[in-house]
Chain A
Amino acid sequence: MKEKNPNNKKRLNFHRLFSKLDVFIKLCLTGPLRTIFVGVVIYLVTGFLNPRFFTVRSLILIAKQSSILSVIGLGLTFVILAGCIDLSVEGVMAISAIACSFLVSNVRNSNDFGLIGIFLALLLASFVGFLNGVIHTKVKIPSIITTLGMWFIARGTAVVLYGGYPIRVKDSLLLYLTKESTLGFPNISIVTLVMVILAFFLEKFTILGRYTYVIGGGEEKAKLAGVPIDKYKIGIFTIAGFFFGAAGILNTGRIGSGTARVGDGTLLQGIAAVVMGGTALTGGTGGVFRTLIGAITIAVVNNGMLILGVSPYIQQAVMGVIIIIAVATNLDRTKISLLK
């Protein structure tokens, strides 16, 4: 017996070590840690292939690119956390960009509303989100159809107002917030960080944030528990509209003029950022910080491809592949018994 025990102890030690390693590897391969892992790996590989990638200038480019994507991702996170989807990103960005360009100091008319103009554009974008929520909950249409229709309605309205050629923006505040840098840090990233903190606050410390997780975790159960789902879903879609509008306004400032095409291609990237970050499409798990990580990783991938000379058109294809792979490895299959 005494001879057996020492052997057993050794085996037990190995077993414990391996199980801990197993847990660690699983942690690395799923969730936000995986995204950081992937991001770091791609960053290092790209830098190895082209050392110019390791410069501070490159980091600043990544920060700027991930800024607008993060803001879009913030809005999408709330909607996806609740188990719905919002396809109207591009339309809301377009309409808020056009509205903002017309209201602040620009070359097309003599308006100069400054901060009020930006505020009004944000209000308009939130209103579109509000419409999304109302139609979805009151008329009981799946969010995918509602937001698909609203995408084109908003886009059409934006193009009608736009008039064919870009509206150059002259407002100093907007341009300062998006084009300049403070102490080497791009302002647009600072604005984005403020938005992220705001979104985090909404998510963790408000009733709406908590109920978002509850609704995403199981809508029937939430309903039975007495959660006023309609009210909070409308709120969620309105918040999404607000963030999309903010992204559109930031993009307008960054480009320097308002066009109806500011949002083109951002839907795919936005969803990619959210799923890369680890927020499940079924809802209930995830968060805004994960989306931030996802957005930064995608910006790393994008910039990496740019530096390596990959055609920008292939990047769209890569986004599609990333979404599929990220969702496939992240899906909570216990929640979807039948996938349509």
Chain B
Amino acid sequence: MNNKKRLKNFKKLNTQTLLSQVIAFQKSKVSPNIILVLVLMLVCAVMAIINPIFLSTANAIIILTEFSVIFVLGIGETFPILMGGIDLSVAGVATLSTMAVLQLLNLGLGYLAFPIAVAIGAGMGFLTGVIHVKGKLPSFLVSLGTMGISMGIAYTLCHGMPLNMSPEQLHYREWVIGSFFGVPNIILNAFIVFFICFFLERYTRFGRYIKAIGAGEKVARLSGVPVDKYKILGFALCGACAGLAGILLTMRLSVGSPRSAEPMLLTAIAVVVLGGTSITGGIGGVPRTLIGALIISVIRNGMTIGDIGVFYQQIIEGIIVIAAVAGTLDRSKIPIIK
């Protein structure tokens, strides 16, 4: 009996020690950015050892191409998480814009279809933001609702079947699948979005307010920040990015499937939290999502090269999300964990 008790106490102590180590690490002055870059290099090294093909230029381009869609989705998700909320509807909005852009092309709108589809995405994000702010409902719930609404509209637009692009429409894909001096356009698109959002986050009032809201909403409100307006804008931006991600995905595949964006919800959140953006809000940002997206893309690519099944990736991403949030959660902000 004594031994059992000793073992139990020892195990309890170990978990507590682990947790206190995590908290101590959080309080330390080591910049998370450096750690993340080191992790990225470590992962790359591991993959290279497993299979040297990893280091080739062709593989690098494959990684970056896959990375682009995930990255744009992650950039969008960064803003609601920075505000301390979450947007679970990104995958649904991406699916919606997938169907919308294809149907708009069918209507003969040409290049106009793309901005309209992004606007539709922004509209869904706007809806999420408005209901969240005006209805005073938790963001995860509202975004769950808008996810359902987006998927419903998406399924209606395509009648449940994947939509194909007709041969005459294929030239509209050029801005996504073509290349510019050897670099695939899709990567350039992703980085243009990155620079725009980076600028928004670092050098505009919008970005500062978003971080302020995340760091402490009550304080922000008392300081005179128009919290409602910027929350709505934040969610609208997330929706717009999700819409763009859906467009990029469709143009790459030249087919719009209602199921293609399903697994992307977890990936979007994994990318953001892995990058070090805290789920409690206020800390982090778009550059961190960049590194998070790179790490996840490298891991995915490594698993594909190593011939591990696609669905193991979901399992690993799930574990990553839990572990990453465990490490980045600011426990002083949430006295009670719900």
> Which A residues have a C-beta under 8 Å from some C-beta of B?
83-85, 135-136, 138-146, 148-153, 155-157, 159-160, 219-220, 267-268, 271, 281, 311-321, 323-324, 327-328, 331, 333, 336, 338-340
Contact = CB atoms under 8 A, between A and B. Distances in A.
A152 B19 contact: no
A338 B135 contact: no
Interface residues of B, number: 57
A65 B155 CA distance: 22
B337 A136 contact: yes
Contact of A320 (B149, B217, B309): B149
22 contacts: A85-B140, A138-B15, A142-B325, A144-B338, A149-B319, A151-B318, A153-B318, A156-B315, A159-B314, A160-B311, A220-B336, A268-B148, A313-B159, A317-B151, A317-B152, A319-B148, A321-B149, A331-B137, A333-B136, A339-B132, A339-B136, A340-B139
B267 to A, nearest CB: 9
A139 B309 CA distance: 29
Contact of B326 (A141, A153, A268): A141
B284 to A, nearest CB: 15
A340 B85 contact: yes
A318 B148 CA distance: 8
**B-side interface mostly:** helix
A133 B206 CA distance: 38
Contact of B338 (A219, A313, A318, A321): A219
Of B217, B319, B331, B336, most A-chain CB atoms within 10 Å: B336
B315 A141 contact: no
Contact of A315 (B135, B142, B152): B152
A157 B309 CA distance: 11
Given A138-B15, A141-B337, A148-B266, A339 B149 contact: no
**A-side interface mostly:** helix
A323 B159 CA distance: 24
A319 to B, nearest CB: 5
A324 B331 contact: no
B321 interface: yes
B300 to A, nearest CB: 13
Contacts of A138: 15
